[in-house]
C-alpha cells in the first residue's frame, strides 16, 4: 500500500485482517464510478485553486493529472486493484504515482463521505437519462405498432375473461401511458437527485472557505445540500430511483405477460419474431417467447434491490455508516436490468406479427357486445340495472342454444323485452367501438387523438 494512503491505518497498531480487508473492500463493484469520481475531483480541485485554499498552480497540476488518470483507466494502462479498498483510494493512488506529493492536496476540504455521496448522485443522474432514453424507445415501438394496426379489433379482458371489444391500438397505448408515467416519475426523481453534497465533509461541513455553488455549477447540479449531516447519509434518491425502476419493471412484466399469453396457441393473436424466441431442447415444434418470460422474471430482482435498500436505511443513526456501502451493487444491477429489459422488449414489440383476423374473431365470437345491448335498452328509457338483468338472461339463453348474440333473431330478443326493435340487430363489434368516442375511449377518432398526443409527448422527451 502506498505510504501516503497507509496513513489511513496509522491510528491502529496492527494490520487489518485479510478476510476483513476483503469483506469491506468495494473496488470490485464501485470501480464503475471512476469517471464520476474523477469528474467530481476535477471540479473540487479547480475550486480549491480559485478560492486560494491551495495554489492555482497546484490545482492545475492536479487537474491535468486527473485527466491523465482518466485516460489511463479507460485505456487500461492504469489498473484498479484490490490493494486499495475503493475507487476513491485507487484514483488517488494512481494520481500520487503520476504527479507526486501535490496529489495529497486534492483531499483538502473533502471527506470520502461527501465524495461518495457526490459520485453516487452523478451516477444516478446519468442513470435517469439512460433509463428515460430506453423508455422513449419502447414508447416509440408501441406507437409504431399501434399506427400500423390502427383499425384492428381485439377483445379486452377483465379477470382474464373477454369483456368488451377495443381497438388494438387503444390496447397498446395503455402501455404507452404506463411508460409515460414512468418517464414523469423519473423526471420528478431527478429534482431530488440534482443536489450537490460536496462541502459537507465527513458530516459537519468543512473548515475552509469553499465555493460550493461554483462546484455545483461545474458539475451541472441545480442545488446544493442544506444540511451536512443529511447530505452524507442521504440515500433517498437511490430508493426513489429503485422505486421508479420497480414500477417500470412491473409495467414491463405486465406487457411481457400479454406477449406470452397472446403468442400461445390458445390465444394466437400475435407471433413473436424468431429473433426474440427460442426453441426446446427436446420438443422440435416449440417456439417460446423466452425474452418476454425473462423480462417478467427479472422484475423480481429489481423489486428485491428496492427492499434491500429500504432495509439498509431503516435503522441507521446519523450520519454516515458503513452499511451505506450496500447502496451500490443493487443500484448498478437495477440500472443494468431495467435498461436491458426495456431494450429487448422494445425490439420484440417492433417486430411482432399481429394476427388481426384471429383477434377480430375472438372479439366477435363471444358476448363482448352484451354491454352495448344493455345500453340500447337504457337509451329506450329502461333503468340500467333492469336492462342489465334482461341482457344477462339473453346471454344465458344464447349460451344454452349455442348461439352468438349476433346470431339471435329479433323474435328471440323480443321474448325477453318488447323494447327491442329491429335496430338492435345493427349492434356489432365495430358499432360498439365507434360508440365509445368519449375522451380517452377506444373509438378510432379518440385513438387518433391519443396517437397524436403520444407523439407530441415523445417528441418533447427526445428533444430534452
pLDDT digits (tens, 9 = 90+) for 79-93: 999 889 999 999 999
How many residues in the chain? 464
Residue 280 bears catalytic tag: yes
For 381-430, the DSSP string reads: T--HHHHHHHHHHHHHHHHHHT--GGG--HHHHHHH-TT--GGGGG--HH
The pLDDT of residue 439: 96
**pTM of the entire structure?**
0.93
Residue 297 pLDDT more than 50?
Answer: yes
Lowest mean pLDDT among 118-127, 242-251, 255-264, 320-329: 320-329
Beta bridge partners of 155: 165
Alpha carbon of residue 224 to chain centroid = 26
Alpha-carbon span 302 to 320, nearest angstrom: 25
Beta bridge partners of 165: 155
Residue 302 pLDDT more than 70?
Answer: yes
Buried b (16+ CB within 10 A) or exposed e, 252-274: bbebbebbbbbbeeebebbbbee
Q: What does the block give as the cell for 212?
A: 460550493
Q: What does the block give as the cell for 386?
A: 333492469
Looking at 159, 281, 400, 439, which residue is catalytic?
A: 159
Looking at 21, 264, 280, 393, which residue is catalytic?
A: 280
Residue 1 pLDDT more than 70?
Answer: no
Domains in the chain, CATH or no CATH each: 3-108 (1.10.275.10), 113-360 (1.20.200.10), 362-462 (1.10.40.30)
| DSSP symbol at 62 | H
What are the pLDDT digits (tens) for 155-178? 999 999 999 999 999 999 999 999
Beta bridge partners of 153: 167
| DSSP symbol at 55 | -
What are the pLDDT digits (tens) for 227-277? 999 999 999 999 999 999 999 999 999 999 999 999 999 999 999 999 999
The pLDDT of residue 25: 87
Residue 17 pLDDT more than 90?
Answer: no
* Number of CB atoms found within 10 A of residue 381's CB: 8
The pLDDT of residue 463: 63
Q: Which helix (H) or strand (E) holds 69?
A: helix 56-74
What is the DSSP pairing of strand 270-271 with strand 161-167?
Answer: unpaired
The pLDDT of residue 9: 58
For 309-359, the DSSP string reads: HHHHHTTPPSS--GGGGGGHHHHHHHHHHHHHHHHHHHHHHHTPEE-HHHH
The pLDDT of residue 24: 86
Residue 365 pLDDT more than 90?
Answer: no
Residue 298 pLDDT more than 70?
Answer: yes
Alpha-carbon span 72 to 79, nearest angstrom: 8
Mean pLDDT of the chain: 94
Task: Identify whether the C-beta of residue 296 lies closer than 8 Å to the C-beta of residue 253.
Answer: yes
For 184-236, the DSSP string reads: HHHHHHHHHH-EE-TT-TTTT--SS---HHHHHHHHT-SEE-S-HHHHHH--H
- Helix and strand tally (H, E) in the chain? 19, 6
- The cell 397472446 sits on which residue? 262
Q: What does the block give as the cell for 119?
A: 459520485
| DSSP symbol at 78 | S
Q: What percent of the chain has pLDDT over 70?
A: 97
Angle between helices 236-262 and 112-148 (to 10 degrees): 30
Amino acid at each position: 500500500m502506498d505510504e501516503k494512503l497507509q496513513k489511513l491505518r496509522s491510528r491502529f497498531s496492527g494490520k487489518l485482517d485479510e478476510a476483513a480487508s476483503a469483506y469491506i473492500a468495494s473496488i470490485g463493484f464501485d470501480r464503475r464510478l471512476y469517471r464520476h469520481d474523477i469528474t467530481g475531483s476535477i471540479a473540487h480541485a479547480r475550486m480549491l485553486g480559485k478560492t486560494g485554499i491551495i495554489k492555482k498552480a497546484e490545482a492545475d497540476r492536479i487537474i491535468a493529472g486527473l485527466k491523465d488518470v482518466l485516460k489511463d483507466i479507460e485505456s487500461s494502462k492504469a489498473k484498479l486493484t484490490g490493494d486499495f479498498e475503493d475507487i476513491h483510494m485507487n484514483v488517488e493512488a494512481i494520481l500520487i504515482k503520476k504527479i507526486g506529493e501535490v496529489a495529497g492536496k486534492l483531499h483538502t476540504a473533502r471527506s470520502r463521505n461527501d465524495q461518495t455521496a457526490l459520485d453516487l448522485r452523478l451516477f444516478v443522474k446519468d442513470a435517469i437519462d439512460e433509463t428515460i432514453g430506453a423508455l422513449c424507445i419502447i414508447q416509440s415501438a408501441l406507437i409504431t405498432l399501434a399506427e400500423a394496426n390502427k383499425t384492428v379489433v381485439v377483445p379486452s379482458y377483465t379477470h382474464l375473461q373477454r369483456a368488451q371489444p377495443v381497438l388494438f391500438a387503444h390496447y397498446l397505448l395503455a402501455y404507452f401511458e404506463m411508460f409515460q408515467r414512468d418517464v414523469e416519475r423519473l423526471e420528478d426523481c431527478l429534482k431530488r437527485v440534482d443536489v450537490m453534497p460536496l462541502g459537507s465533509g465527513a458530516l459537519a461541513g468543512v473548515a475552509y472557505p469553499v465555493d460550493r455553488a461554483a462546484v455545483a455549477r461545474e458539475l451541472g447540479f441545480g442545488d446544493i445540500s442544506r444540511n451536512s449531516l443529511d447530505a452524507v447519509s442521504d440515500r433517498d434518491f437511490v430508493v426513489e430511483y429503485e422505486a421508479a425502476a420497480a414500477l417500470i419493471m412491473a409495467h414491463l412484466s405486465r406487457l411481457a405477460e400479454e406477449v406470452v399469453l397472446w403468442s400461445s396457441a390458445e390465444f394466437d393473436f400475435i407471433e413473436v419474431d424468431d429473433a426474440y424466441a427460442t426453441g426446446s431442447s427436446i420438443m422440435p415444434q416449440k417456439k417460446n417467447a423466452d425474452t418476454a418470460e425473462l423480462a417478467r422474471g427479472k422484475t423480481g430482482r429489481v423489486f428485491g434491490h428496492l427492499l434491500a435498500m429500504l432495509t439498509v436505511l431503516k435503522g441507521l443513526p446519523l450520519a454516515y455508516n458503513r452499511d451505506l456501502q450496500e447502496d451500490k451493487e443493487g443500484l448498478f444491477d437495477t440500472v443494468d436490468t431495467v435498461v436491458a429489459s426495456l431494450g429487448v422488449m422494445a425490439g420484440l414489440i417492433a417486430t411482432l406479427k399481429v394476427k388481426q383476423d384471429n383477434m377480430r374473431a375472438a372479439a366477435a365470437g363471444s358476448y363482448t357486445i352484451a354491454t352495448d345491448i344493455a345500453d340500447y335498452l337504457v337509451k329506450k328509457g329502461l333503468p340500467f340495472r333492469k336492462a342489465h338483468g334482461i341482457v344477462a338472461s339473453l346471454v344465458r339463453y344464447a349460451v344454452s342454444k349455442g348461439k352468438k348474440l349476433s346470431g339471435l333473431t329479433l323474435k328471440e330478443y323480443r321474448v325477453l323485452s318488447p323494447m327491442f326493435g329491429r335496430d338492435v340487430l345493427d349492434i356489432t363489434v365495430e358499432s360498439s367501438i365507434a360508440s365509445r368516442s368519449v375522451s380517452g375511449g377506444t373509438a378510432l377518432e379518440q385513438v387518433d387523438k391519443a396517437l397524436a398526443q403520444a407523439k407530441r409527448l415523445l417528441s418533447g422527451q427526445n428533444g430534452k
